[in-house]
């Protein structure tokens, strides 16, 4: 069975909520490969006592872009991003780019606990036969470009 990969990202005011939620669902997360940005990854490692969480850079320092690259390369199956709708973020363009890449590559995205619960408990999370349809960009990549 192929292991599904989940990227976990949270803004500062949402880190505790994400860490608590993952801890409450540790059994469901046990067979999954986990990626996380900076501080979120450190907090998850400490709370879950799981050294196999791939910690990337902090979001504002390039971590959001690293997650986006992994999505584009087909390494991430689900993005769980608890973002804070009440706080402006200095790296807002990076956040928008991450969400755009997830939408572009047809990756499920959970931006709050309710949606994350629906996705995590979905039969598709444990179904090795189900893979979201990847878009075909051949028309775009093969287009003629004027000189």
Is the Cβ–Cβ distance between 39 and 9 less than 8 Å? no
How far, in Å, CA of 109 to CA of 107, rounded? 6
Show the tokens assigned to 4.
């599904």
How far, in Å, CA of 33 to CA of 28, rounded? 11
Whether 64 is a known active-site residue: answer yes
> Is 142 annotated in some ligand binding site?
no
Is the Cβ–Cβ distance between 79 and 73 less than 8 Å? no
How far, in Å, CA of 122 to CA of 127, rounded? 9
> Is 38 annotated in some ligand binding site?
yes
> Is 62 annotated in some ligand binding site?
no
How far, in Å, CA of 94 to CA of 81, rounded? 13
Active-site option among 12, 20, 51, 64: 64
> Is 122 annotated in some ligand binding site?
no
Give CA separation, 56 vs 11, 61, 85, in Å.
15, 10, 23
Binding residues: 11, 15, 37-40, 58-59, 91
Binding residues for substrate: 11, 15, 37-40, 58-59, 91
Residues involved in catalysis: 64
């Amino acid at each position: 069975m192929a292991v599904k990969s989940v990227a976990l990202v949270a803004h500062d005011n949402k880190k505790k909520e994400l860490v608590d939620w993952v801890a409450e669902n540790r059994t469901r997360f046990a067979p999954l490969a986990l990626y996380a940005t900076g501080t979120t990854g450190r907090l998850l490692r400490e709370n879950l006592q799981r050294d196999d969480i791939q910690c990337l850079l902090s979001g504002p320092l390039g971590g959001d872009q690293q997650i986006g690259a992994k999505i584009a390369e087909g390494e991430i199956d689900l993005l769980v991003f608890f973002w804070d709708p009440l706080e402006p973020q200095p790296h807002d363009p990076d956040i928008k780019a991450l969400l755009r890449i997830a939408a572009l590559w047809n990756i499920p995205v959970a931006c709050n606990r309710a949606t994350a619960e629906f996705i995590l408990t979905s039969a598709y999370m444990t179904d090795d036969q189900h893979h979201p349809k990847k878009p075909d960009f051949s028309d775009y990549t093969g287009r003629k470009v004027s000189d």
